[in-house]
Amino acid sequence: MSHDENIYQGIDHLKTGDLCNALSCFEKACQFEERSCIAHFMRGVALQQMGRLEEAANSFIAATRCDPGHTGSWFSLGNCLRDIGRKEKALGCFDVVLEIAPQHTDALVNKGRMLDESGKHKQALECYDRAIELAPNEDMGWSNRGHTLRALKEYNEAVTSYKKSLEINPQNILALFGLGQALMMLERDEAALRYIDRGLEFEPRRGSIERSL
């Protein structure tokens, strides 16, 4: 089969969860065209889904060398490096994505999450605010903003963000539990427990944890 045929067949295998055969197809495509960005990228996707993150990262790096402007490769590389624990390099990848495509909301959100994890909440908030500006109807942007505001002890603003998230997606579990916790910090315990109980309808295993906060 040709390079393109291997790519298409590999994608078909991915769709059915046949990762080993998908990987084989993408590796054959790489052999046909060593400078094929899409072949290296798709090989990385297959390896990532198999949990072989170091190899996946190397494939995404190869893809970026073939096409430095391919945002999908940089974004996936960032996710791989984050999961491996190379946080600074992962942040660098998300920054590259945003240099190429400033309106890439997923990169903004992922960068914000990593900044939050590093305790850089104000910088994270800037990422979420930008993501919300670009995609105001995405519930996760609002719920992430709520988490950051809660970390900054801006509880009233956090409540507003969580409620906006729930207007868009009433089943956003993180927003339900986050709203409950923010309301507790405002000593509005009765309202807080209502939202936590709603969250438990979707994820009952969190019950003892959330009700103890």
Mean pLDDT of 175-187: 95
Percent helix, strand, coil in the chain, to 5, is 80, 0, 20
Give CA 54 to chain center in angstroms.
19
Say whether pTM exceeds 0.95.
no
Q: In this structure, what are the phi and psi dihedrals at residue 95, rounded to the nearest 5 degrees?
A: -65, -40
Dist CA 12 CA 211 (whole Å): 45
Q: Is the pLDDT of residue 22 over 70?
A: yes
Distances (CA, A) of 124 to 117, 154, 168, 170: 9, 14, 22, 24
- From CA 39, how far away is CA 171, in angstroms rounded? 37
Residue 186: pLDDT above 70?
yes
The pLDDT assigned to 199 comes to 86
DSSP string, 143-182: HHHHHHHHHTT-HHHHHHHHHHHHHH-TT-HHHHHHHHHH
Q: Give 141-170 pLDDT, tens digit per residue.
A: 999 999 999 999 999 999 999 999 999 999
- Which tokens hold the place of 175? 């927003």
Report the percentage of the chain scoring pLDDT > 70.
Answer: 95
Token pair of 170, please? 């009433």
Question: Which of 102, 104, 79, 100 has its CA nearest to residue 89?
Answer: 79
